[in-house]
């Protein structure tokens, strides 16, 4: 089953006129039902009936008409809840403090309900686009491929650049440009001699890399306006019809342009074709918590579902990479936008305002890397939150000319999503106000809570599960938000106070972690966990001491317990797991030749079982030429994948044997690529791992595994129990780990609590810690690599010495 089928969406939307009639009719019906006054027990009956209708329609929600009925029913239940909350549950001004906090909670719930309605609107009729039209080669537009870079290693850039150069496209119409912001004149003349030295060396290395690969090298005088300024500087010397953008770690498949460029030939008003971002490694929340493999990655909810809905309303926006943009549209708004630190979405907003159109293709044709550490993940998400808040303040789409109403709603939906850190913190803290201080911020009887709140909550969960069941499991969104909320809420507040002061920080993507450890930014999440644990305990104490409050305590205590479960599961994020491999492995079955001494004219045929940018695992059948013990660790070896679909990209790669073992009638070898070999080998590695987008399509299909609402809730509860136990054990072991690390390095021993900063500003704790990860990595890279330095070259066939084949 294809990804499109798994998502159950159609290739053509319902006509605009019919949709307008449906939305008006449904809105009138929903508002009418919501405003009808009823008794509590009548409301309970309505709530149960509405919930049963939603549950009954959930299995057939892929049918557009039935999904519409389900959403309309749910909307009526949700709106009835909001009317009741706004008119009957506030404490009154005789208790000003309680009323103030009650209004704050109501405002927060109002926000979530508005997001609910926007989500229903966006996902009511998602579509997938048909394949790009077939266009004659002579009619294809010229394409300039931009690969912006700042601090990424040359080995990573080589793979991306080689893959971009070898995309299926007329060579005379394709130019690839490395936009290097790490080797600018400003950095080469920096007052810090170390920075200047690194910039000089970087420019020389990357200029040679580009010369070897036939790539254009571009840099500029000064580092201004971050990524947007970097790419705009390169465009000043280019004149292609289209501009493709790939981040330094986003390696394109060969069919990227073949599947996207044709759209621009048939639609002169099209400015953007955006494709999904697909990642080879799990994000730190996924990895540290330990989600099972069938749990869909966090980004799939956006790229696998939400963006299909945005595309229905011409709301697809530029996501910074894996996109193709019309140069004329860029020029019409003065190039890549630079007013915020999210130049991608801002650029799309500016171009949409100028009357251009966009579309989204739900096929992953790049593969990239996510941050490895929780620190880097929070830094990345903090940048996204800050940029979207900047756009909302400085370029509010509701006040902007040139946009259609549905486009305004799309952008508002995307921007307002990033309020979630503040919203989540309000929901986490709110029950504590009653448990600790006795503040009444939600006045309701037990029957009213059942009639309104319980049915509203269950309807919301069922609808969410129906809409996103294959791309987001129940409570996983809440878990991700909880993990980020204590950190990103600072970024949101700071942006509102000073929207123009934000700075663009590059996220490190090739980190490694030598051992399990507690994250240096653990304190905010730990403090939140302790507060919620204390709240649950206080609820138990109040239940025993104040029998008259037990009805209220059952409600508020249940809310606090739910929050405690979420934070308990999220707390595993701070327990960083060992990750020594800087490049993730990709499973495959690629035929390859290995050259062995004694028979260089008859290489051994093997199969590549998996590969990364730094090495491969190869299976060889046992024979007279190779038996257990023939190949020794550290031995140099030549390896050449056959690449039957692209033989011109098949080049020999130097390497060394890291390990070998017998498996049945086969010998399994772990090979590490040697450093310092010709950059042309990047073509081979790039195509072997990244060249076929069908590989990513198959991997995405495996993600779309459905789980029911009850099963999802049980799964999160299990994660919470495991998370509390494991993280507590890790916290207890952390001081000893720090002492061992300090003794090994000769550093001063510092206790755990001294290394968990409580910085008042977002950048104050993120940037220095990110720098410490970079310094640690630099120290590791200075150590000699025994496997790499053991290779001394020699025969161009890289034949193994005969001494390696003596004996078993």
Q: Which residues are catalytic?
A: 181, 344
Alpha-carbon span 44 to 50, nearest angstrom: 10
- Facing residues of 368 across strands? 279
3-state secondary structure of 360: strand
Query: Which residues 6+ apart lie within 8 Å of 562 measured at CB?
Result: none
Strands (E) located in 59-117: none
Among candidate residues 649, 642, 636, the one with its CA nearest the CA of residue 675: 636
| Contact in structure between 348 and 318 (CB atoms under 8 Å) | yes
User: Hey, how many other C-beta atoms are within 10 angstroms of the C-beta on 148?
Assistant: 26
Rg of the chain, C-alpha, whole Å? 29
| Contact in structure between 212 and 678 (CB atoms under 8 Å) | yes
Write phi, then psi, for 513 (nearest 5 degrees): -125, 120
| Contact in structure between 295 and 283 (CB atoms under 8 Å) | no
**Dihedral of alpha carbons 538, 540, 545, 546, sign:** positive
| Contact in structure between 150 and 36 (CB atoms under 8 Å) | no
Alpha-carbon span 573 to 480, nearest angstrom: 10
Write phi, then psi, for 637 (nearest 5 degrees): -155, 155
SS3 assignment for 418-461: HHHHHHHHHHHHHHHHHHHHCCCCCCCCHHHHHHHHHHHHHHHH
Among candidate residues 202, 194, 244, 243, the one with its CA nearest the CA of residue 219: 202
Helix axes 193-213, 154-165, angle to 10 degrees: 30
SS3 content of the chain, % helix, strand, coil (to 5): 55, 10, 35
In whole angstroms, how far apart are CA 78 and each of 83, 114, 458, 461?
Answer: 9, 10, 10, 12
DSSP 592: E
């Amino acid at each position: 089953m294809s990804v499109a089928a798994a998502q159950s969406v159609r290739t053509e939307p319902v006509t605009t006129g019919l949709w307008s009639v449906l939305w008006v009719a449904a809105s009138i019906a929903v508002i009418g039902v919501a405003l009808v006054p009823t008794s509590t027990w009548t409301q309970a009956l309505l709530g149960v009936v509405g919930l049963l209708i939603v549950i009954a329609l959930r299995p057939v929600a892929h049918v557009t008409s039935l999904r519409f009925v389900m959403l309309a029913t749910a909307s009526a239940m949700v709106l009835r809840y909001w009317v009741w909350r706004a008119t009957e549950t506030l404490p009154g001004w005789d208790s000003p403090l309680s009323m103030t906090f009650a209004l704050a909670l109501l405002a927060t719930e109002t926000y979530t309900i508005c997001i609910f309605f926007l989500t229903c609107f966006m996902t009511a009729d998602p579509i997938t686009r048909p394949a790009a039209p077939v266009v004659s080669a002579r009619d294809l537009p010229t394409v300039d491929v931009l690969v912006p870079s700042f601090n990424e290693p040359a080995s990573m850039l080589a793979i991306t650049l080689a893959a971009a150069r070898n995309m299926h496209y007329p060579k005379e119409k394709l130019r690839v440009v490395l936009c290097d912001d790490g080797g600018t004149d400003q950095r080469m003349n920096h007052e810090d001699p170390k920075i200047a030295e690194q910039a000089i060396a970087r420019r020389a290395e990357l200029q040679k890399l580009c010369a070897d690969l036939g790539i254009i090298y571009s840099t500029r005088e000064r580092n201004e306006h971050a990524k947007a300024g970097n790419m705009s500087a390169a465009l000043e010397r280019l004149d292609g019809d289209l501009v493709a953008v790939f981040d330094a770690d986003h390696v394109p498949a060969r069919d990227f342009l073949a599947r996207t460029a044709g759209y621009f030939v048939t639609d002169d008003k099209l400015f953007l074709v955006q494709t999904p971002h697909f990642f080879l490694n799990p994000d730190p929340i996924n990895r540290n918590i330990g989600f099972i493999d069938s749990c869909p990655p966090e980004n799939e909810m956006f790229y696998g579902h939400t963006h299909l809905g945005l595309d229905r309303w011409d709301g697809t926006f530029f996501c910074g990479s894996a996109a193709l943009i019309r140069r004329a549209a860029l020029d019409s708004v003065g190039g890549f936008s630079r007013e915020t630190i999210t130049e991608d979405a801002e650029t799309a907003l500016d171009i949409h305002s100028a009357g251009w159109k966009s579309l989204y293709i739900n096929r992953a044709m790049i593969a990239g890397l996510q941050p490895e550490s929780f620190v880097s993940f929070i830094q990345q998400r903090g940048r996204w939150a800050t940029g979207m808040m900047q756009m909302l303040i400085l370029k509010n789409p509701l006040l902007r000319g040139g946009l259609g109403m549905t486009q305004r709603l799309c952008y508002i939906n995307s921007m307002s999503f990033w309020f979630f850190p503040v919203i989540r913190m309000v929901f986490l803290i709110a029950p504590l106000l009653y448990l600790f201080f006795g503040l009444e911020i939600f006045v309701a009887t037990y029957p009213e809570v059942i009639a309104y709140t319980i049915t509203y909550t269950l309807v919301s969960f069922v609808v969410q599960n129906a809409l996103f069941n294959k791309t987001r499991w129940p409570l996983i969104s809440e878990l991700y938000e909880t993990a980020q909320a204590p950190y990103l809420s600072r970024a949101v507040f700071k942006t509102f106070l000073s929207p123009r002061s934000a700075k663009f920080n590059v996220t490190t993507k090739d980190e490694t972690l030598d051992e399990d450890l507690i994250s240096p930014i653990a304190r905010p999440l730990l403090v939140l966990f302790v507060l919620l644990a204390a709240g649950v305990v206080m609820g138990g104490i109040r239940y025993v001491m104040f029998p008259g409050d037990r009805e209220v305590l059952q409600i508020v205590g249940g809310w606090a317990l739910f929050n405690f479960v979420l934070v308990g599961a999220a707390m595993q994020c701070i327990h960083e797991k060992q990750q020594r491999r800087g490049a993730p492995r990709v499973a495959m079955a690629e035929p390859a030749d290995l050259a062995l001494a004694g028979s260089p004219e008859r290489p051994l045929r093997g199969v590549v079982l998996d590969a990364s940018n730094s090495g491969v695992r190869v299976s060889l059948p046992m024979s007279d030429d190779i038996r257990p013990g023939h190949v020794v660790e550290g031995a140099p070896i030549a390896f050449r994948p056959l690449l039957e679909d692209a033989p011109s990209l098949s080049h020999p790669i130097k390497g060394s044997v890291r390990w070998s073992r017998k498996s049945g009638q086969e010998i399994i070898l772990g090979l590490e690529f040697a450093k310092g070999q010709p950059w042309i080998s990047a073509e081979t590695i790039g195509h072997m791992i990244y060249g076929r987008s069908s590989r990513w399509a198959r991997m995405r299909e495996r993600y779309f595994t459905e789980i029911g609402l009850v099963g999802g809730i049980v799964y999160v509860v299990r994660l919470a129990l495991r998370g509390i136990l494991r993280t507590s054990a890790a916290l207890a072991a952390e001081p000893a780990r720090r002492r061992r690390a300090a003794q090994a390095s000769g550093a001063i021993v510092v206790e755990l609590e001294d290394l968990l900063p409580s910085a008042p500003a977002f950048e104050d704790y993120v940037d220095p810690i990110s720098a410490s990860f970079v310094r640690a990595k630099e120290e590791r890279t200075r150590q000699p690599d025994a496997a790499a330095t053991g290779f001394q070259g020699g025969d161009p066939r890289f034949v193994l010495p005969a001494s390696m084949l003596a004996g078993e």
